[in-house]
């Protein structure tokens, strides 16, 4: 695992800055990554997640494990909005937003309860697979648990008991965040209650961060999805 190679040379108790750029991914993977990072910083070190451009969904979930998130005007977090990707036999891809799917199911249930004779509502409710609905509920429960855990053991490990549950609720709120890719900038992130280290675009440190990010994006380049794992000692590129 490339991430292990990045962390291997770091002494326990060190301060770690993780430069993170991602559109999201598997939420369960974030728990493993966070656990490895916490093992490196120990009780005395500090973990900062630096977001030059975007860290969406699972990326946001990983950022919650940090003591602070470094952001500027170009930085962009996203709602905790688990997705399920389905590969159909005809070659097409269908992406299901779990939370929105559950919202639609709940609305159909209410419509039938309010008017049992509503045939349209009955037909809509009949389109939902009960087993799928239960699996979606489990996925959302897991997302909430991970968010609470990362905030409690990461960002608020030195205090702030109870705060993390409210932040999790805010990040999962589909009434506030209407789309999967909706921007949560540094102002909104601070408003929610996250620990944000803001650096202005002209800040010398931020200019170095942005330059590094741009060079990494150029290095990845090419067609198709690629991943870059890089430190001062290790550089691995995966297709």
Q: Are residues 66 and 148 both part of a single domain?
A: yes
Q: Are residues 9 and 35 both part of a single domain?
A: yes
Inter-residue contact 94 to 86 (CB < 8 Å): yes
Does the pLDDT value for residue 239 go beyond 80? no
Q: What is the pLDDT of residue 162?
A: 65
Q: Are residues 148 and 213 both part of a single domain?
A: yes
Does the pLDDT value for residue 224 go beyond 70? no
Report the 10 Å Cβ neighbour count for 112.
17
Q: Chain-wide mean pLDDT for the chain?
A: 91
179-188 average pLDDT score: 93
Q: Are residues 74 and 96 both part of a single domain?
A: no
Q: Are residues 130 and 168 both part of a single domain?
A: no
Q: What is the percent of the chain with per-residue pLDDT over 70, rounded to a whole number?
A: 97
Q: Are residues 45 and 127 both part of a single domain?
A: no
What phi and psi values does residue 14 have, to the nearest 5 degrees?
-80, 160
Beta-carbon contacts of residue 118 (< 8 Å; ≥ 6 apart):
111, 112
Q: What is the pLDDT of residue 174?
A: 85
Instruction: Name residue, tokens 């490339």.
Output: 2
List beta partners, residue 84.
96
Instruction: Name residue, tokens 């939902």.
Output: 128
Does the pLDDT value for residue 69 go beyond 90? yes
Q: What is the pTM of this model?
A: 0.89
- For 10-43, b/e burial (b = at least 16 CB within 10 A) is beeeeebebbbbbebbebeebbebbeebbebbee
Q: Are residues 221 and 166 both part of a single domain?
A: yes
Q: What is the pLDDT of residue 222?
A: 65
Inter-residue contact 160 to 180 (CB < 8 Å): no
Q: What is the pLDDT of residues 125-170, one digit of tens each?
A: 999 999 999 999 999 999 999 999 999 999 999 876 667 889 999 9
């Amino acid at each position: 695992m490339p991430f292990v190679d990045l962390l291997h040379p770091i002494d326990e108790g060190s301060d770690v800055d993780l430069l993170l750029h991602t559109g999201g991914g598997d939420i369960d993977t974030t728990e493993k990554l966070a656990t490895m990072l916490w093992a490196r910083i120990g009780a005395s070190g500090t973990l900062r997640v630096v977001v030059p451009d975007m860290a969406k969904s699972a990326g946001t979930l990983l950022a919650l494990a940090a003591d602070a998130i470094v952001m500027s005007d170009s930085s962009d977090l996203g709602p905790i909005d688990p997705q399920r990707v389905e590969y159909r036999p005809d070659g097409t891809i269908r992406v299901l937003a779990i939370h929105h799917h559950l919202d639609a199911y709940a609305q159909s249930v209410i419509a039938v309860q309010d008017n049992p004779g509503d045939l349209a509502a009955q037909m809509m409710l009949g389109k939902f697979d009960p087993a799928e609905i239960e699996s979606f509920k489990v996925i959302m429960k897991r997302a909430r648990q991970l968010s609470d855990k990362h905030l409690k053991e990461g960002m608020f490990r030195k205090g702030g008991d109870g705060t993390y549950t409210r932040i999790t609720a805010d990040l999962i709120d589909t009434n506030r965040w209407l789309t999967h890719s909706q921007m949560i900038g540094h102002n909104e992130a601070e408003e929610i209650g996250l620990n944000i280290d803001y650096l202005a675009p002209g800040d010398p440190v931020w200019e170095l961060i942005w330059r590094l990010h741009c060079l990494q994006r150029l290095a990845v380049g090419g067609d198709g999805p690629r991943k870059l794992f890089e430190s001062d000692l290790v550089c691995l590129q995966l297709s």
